[in-house]
Amino acid sequence: MKKMLVVVGFISVLFFSGTALAWDDCPYSEVDCSYPGECSRYIDTDNDGICDHSQAAPEDRETTIVKETEDQIASTKVADGDDLDEKSVVLSEENKDKNKKNSISTNYYFVPISIIIILLYFLSFILYKTKKMSFVVHKKIWNVLLLITFLISAILGLLLVIRIQFGLVMNPPIDVLFWHVVAGIPMAIISIFHVLWHLNYYKLIFKGRSRSTL
């Protein structure tokens, strides 16, 4: 029990280190540092995809936006002589929301990847049912694919954790977060197939049967 508490405490220290609420105090002088951040201090309390340490506090940002909008309106009035107060404010807010969405949205191709994996599985299943492929080969194919996708997702996930938690500088030739998620999609789907294969085994576990009956 003591060992478990020590492990939990150690993990908690690692996890919560660098999460103190502060704004615009990045030790590396980063500005608008996007997810997942360049060091272990990454924190995003306002969910805008930007590290709090690399940007001003929300109230300061709002003041800056208002000031910039007022300056823009004033300069527009001087240049054109038109009253565009309300329209300028609306456009400014729309641009801010658009930039925020673009900073945190990424297409991970969930639907096409899922469809491809499911179709390939049913193709393999039909070949097995029509005796054109043995059940052993059918299972081997999907066990190997499960292993490959697991290793890719797990290794890239660990690299992300190490990079974020310990602030190690890494410059891999690929987008680690993107491929971590992309590999995790087929892994999750194949895992469902794997569970279905062993459904009776899990039923026995939850029914409380003895280990010898498994």
* Last-in-domain residue among 105, 140, 165: 105
Residue 2 inside a domain? The answer is: no
Residue 63 inside a domain? The answer is: yes
Residue 181 inside a domain? The answer is: yes
Residue 79 is part of which domain span? 58-105
User: Residue 163: what are its φ and ψ, rounded to 5°?
Assistant: -65, -45
CB 30 within 8 A of CB 54: yes
What's the pLDDT tens digit per position in 30-69? 888 888 777 767 777 777 888 887 888 876 766 655 566 6
Q: In this structure, are 135 and 118 located in the same domain?
A: yes
Q: In this structure, are 152 and 97 located in the same domain?
A: no
Residue 183 inside a domain? The answer is: yes
Task: Provide the b/e sequence for 117-143 (b: ≥16 CB within 10 Å).
Answer: beeebeebeeebeeeebeeeebeebbe
Residue 159 inside a domain? The answer is: yes
What's the pLDDT tens digit per position in 152-211? 999 999 998 888 888 777 778 888 889 999 999 999 999 999 998 888 888 888 886 545
Q: Pick the closest to residue 138 from 157, 124, 153 (CA basis).
A: 124
Of residues 84 and 34, more confidently modeled = 34
Q: In this structure, are 71 and 32 located in the same domain?
A: no
Residue 1 inside a domain? The answer is: no
**pTM here?**
0.53
Of residues 88 and 46, more confidently modeled = 46
Q: In this structure, are 126 and 191 located in the same domain?
A: yes
Q: In this structure, are 193 and 120 located in the same domain?
A: yes
Q: In this structure, are 117 and 197 located in the same domain?
A: yes
Q: In this structure, are 115 and 136 located in the same domain?
A: yes
User: Which residues partner with 34 through β-bridges?
Assistant: 50
Total of domains in the chain: 3
CB 153 within 8 A of CB 108: no
Residue 4 inside a domain? The answer is: no
